[in-house]
Copies of this chain bind each other. A is one copy, B any other.
Amino acid sequence: MQTGATLTKVKRSASEPLRDQILQRCRMMLMAGHVVPGQKLPLRPLAEEFDTSLMPVRDALNRLVADGALELSSSRTIRVPDMSDERLIELHEIRRSLEGLAAEYATPHISVSSIDRMQELIGEMAEALKVDDFDTYIARHFSFHFTLYAAAERETLLGLIDRLWLQVGPYFRQGIEQAKTACENPNVAHIKIVAGLKARDSTMVRTSVEYDVFSAVDFLRTGIWPKGQ
């Protein structure tokens, strides 16, 4: 299947449908950049790897298509969509708007322990980057942002932001690998976010998050078009 990730069997349990277990796996693959743009994800090989029938795999992938994380190309093959300049910019206009909103709502409510955790995550991100452990970097980076956004306690908003991250996931990894050094720049935003939270300054947090998202555009662009098209 060449998903780049180690896939093990999923088990049928009453608590969680196979579809959801498979969905979770596929989400991880996308977020971690373990699938590459343009890559096909045919149902049957995936079903074989998960040791299930087509149906739950089909359900999971259809869900991801609905979320814009995958696409149904003409002649109905499911693949990881390519990124265009326009789409990248649009996604980040929306990200800026929604993540800024979430950041603002989160600021008064977020717990001190969560802020401390975010502080730690900044350190762990730097550590991971030093040893080229991109998987860990991506995981910590995700935790950092979603610890903040979850504190806004807006379920629908969180879901929308999640969808947007799923769409940039496959390109984010390429961005880091290409522009590793440039990652210091976003980290400045991260530090300001934590500082803003400690001061309970909603405007500062929102502005810092918006800047973080803003700077991500150029960062991602270098990953998508390394030669500088």
Contact with B along A44-71 (1 / 0, CB 8 A): 0000000000000001001100111000
How many monomers of this chain does the complex have? 2
Which residue of the partner chain B has the closest CB to A23? B66
Interface residues on A, range: 20 to 34
In the complex, what distance in Å separates the CA atom of A90 from the CA atom of B62? 27
| Closest chain B CB from A206 CB (angstroms) | 12
A interface residues (Cβ-Cβ under 8 A, vs B): 59, 62-63, 66-68, 87, 90-91, 93-94, 97-98, 101, 154-157, 159-160, 167
29 pairs from A and B in contact (CB 8 Å cutoff):
A59-B62, A62-B62, A62-B63, A63-B63, A63-B66, A66-B66, A66-B67, A68-B156, A68-B159, A87-B155, A87-B156, A90-B155, A90-B156, A90-B157, A91-B156, A93-B101, A93-B154, A93-B157, A94-B98, A94-B101, A94-B156, A94-B157, A94-B160, A97-B97, A97-B98, A97-B101, A98-B98, A156-B167, A160-B160
